[in-house]
Structure 1
Amino acid sequence: MNWPDHAIWWHVYPLGFLGKRKLPALADWLDHVLELGCNGLMLGPVFASESHGYDTTDHFRVDPRLGTEDDLVALIDQARSRGVRVMLDGVFNHVGRSYGHREWWIPEGDDYRVFEGHRSLVVLDHANPAVADHVTGVLDYWTERGVDAWRLDAAYAVPRPFWRTVTDRTRAKHPGVWFSGEVIHGDYDAYVSEGGLDTVTQYELWKAIWSSLNDVNPHELAWTLGRHNELLETFAPQTFVGNHDVTRIASRLTEPGHLPHALAVLFTVGGVPSIYAGDERGWQGVKEEREGGDDAIRPEFPPIPDGLGDDGLDIQRLHQLLIGIRRRHPWLVRAQAEVHTLGDGVLAYTLKAQENAVAVALNFGDRRAAAKLPPAAWTHEAGEATINPDGTADLPPLGWTVASTA
């Protein structure tokens, strides 16, 4: 397997996380990243911008609020010396109003085309070859300085041939670079096969996880696992239960006891998982559709991990436990799920690779329930219940279990 198949990302929104500190302060969190079991640092926008980072003014300059180019390179170097890969957020669909190349904007009426009604975000003309040249130059510049991967913001809003052009050009010089496109809806496969991306964000799975748990109805999640299997035939989707754009999973779930269920799915199904900073401590935060509505999900963190205290330490240990299972079974990255029990509030599935297997049984409801899985010599890995050799599992209310044959 190549390196992205082993990646588990810790996702940080620097402009919120750091407060008045600069990028080098993130190096003090690398031990935390590694102790979680992650080996990737996914950074939100770091380039010069007008406000929140997605209204870029200069792709070749680090936002002064975060420091300098030397600061960013120093952080990348420190991360890589610890075996931690670094992903940057490439915002190439739109720019801020004070961006310097208005000849790359698209006239529309008395103004210019904007992104999803946001007047401060002006869309670039991706049919203009100069824009492809510019984006390729940006990718080359920062990849040359040690960046391993790119999150391509609003990838769904950019023509797929544009992505193919810039990713092909970049890979010609940097063959190991990895591209993850933000795709909320649409033809996920096409962004990989036609656009040249390596993966896209799996919003379908994200929604199915919390929605099924809140409804105490696993059918939506079971259906989505089938869809997820189809994607895995082409690529390993980028999976998550939280990011900088959505209500935190601990706030999204109606029943706090469902958090282990959500995490069990995230860390057993195929894909390349990411954890949004703070979720590993069960932090709360609700996204609101208003000016400043992201503030609650993008808070400042303490200068060092010790500042987190003991709050949510049990949830962090649960993350470590489940990531440990993922590390012991690295083949899960491309494993397809087979559902064996789908009933009233109960979902049980297995994932297999040659002679290895992992089984997951989840009780969404508040009454005891039974699940049936294939007979095997199941070894308990996590959760309150065990799976018997005949494949049966007796699950307590809100119970769950993960087992393996290895």
Structure 2
Amino acid sequence: MTATLTRSALRIGPYEVDPPVVLAPMAGITNVAFRRLCREYGAGLYVCEMITSRALVERHPKTLEMVTFDADESPRSMQLYGVDPATMRDAVKMIVDDDLADHVDMNFGCPVPKVTRKGGGSALPYKRNLFREIVSAAVGAAEPAGIPVTVKFRIGIDDEHLTYLDAGRIAEAEGAKAVALHGRTAAQRYSGTADWSAIARLKEAVTSIPVLGNGDIFSADDALRMMAETGCDGVVVGRGCLGRPWLFRDLQAAFAGEPVPQGPNLGEVARVLRRHAELLADHMGADKGLRDLRKHMPQYMRGFPVGSDLRRALGTVSGFGELDDLLGSLDPTVPFPDEAEGPRGRQGSAGKVVLPEGWLEDPDDASVPFAAEIDSSGG
């Protein structure tokens, strides 16, 4: 049975987000095709893939291609990654001047080694003054245009270096319109269990702007439980919607106090998968779109009694005729399996965070790490 919850509307700057649900940016996943597919199931805030500030300022062709929104996508939400206040200011100014987005979310949560070894992502909030300068630069460039800036981060680098309370207070003081906390450290990556109690503590510390919770939301009931247990103002959904865009339908129903629909049978999943293929083809062409679809196949088929040969064929599909034949061979009456519930997507194991040499020596050092800006997006 799904829990019920009394709540006030979530506002991020001028935008009301109802239900209070945000699609987390995921590299290689949350392109315009996937966002449209999810939006067809329910309202919320849908954030594009992470964009690096330097690549945007330098007008990198791949980056500009990633900054694509549907004509009816509103607000247009872009996540920026950066480690240099000056570059971040220039990137946000470009967003304003070129009318590229209506909302900017800043990434200080990425645990990927190629990012943290340069002092970026979830490593950066440890440098409190540098973090403050980056947030201030983005807000200063966005505020005159009325574009809200939000900030996402993790609990800290590891259990010995927690940063989330300072990060939340700094972001609030510098004019961010909301903060979001993934309840894991960088060292945890996506392993183990998210610490929702940290979200509750952040909510107690940050009182004038919304606090959003992220981590281990794989069902509508998870979202309602997180809000009830932590007092957070909204939820950020990442891996839980992989191969399961109808999760946003479930969330919309749950937040409206309505019964959550049963999971789709295999015939409906095949229809959704086919729709995803069409949207990818519209966005990047049929060949590239179907290649991109392959990585989604295991998530769509998860838990269903689909043989290994058919799974392998779906994972190498290269044409729409072939895709239709494969989907047509599925038994459409198979109900949604219990095995498809629960955690999905990458989990992996915890590990030591790769950091720049001497990174932990002085948390007040505001100098920009040498060669810290990565030159491509999607990290």
TM bracket, shorter-chain basis: 0.3 to 0.5
- Considering Cα pairs closer than 8 Å and 6+ residues apart, tell me whether 1 or 2 has the greater RCO: 2
Greater Rg by CA: 1
Q: Which has the higher strand share?
A: 1
TM-score by length of 1: 0.41
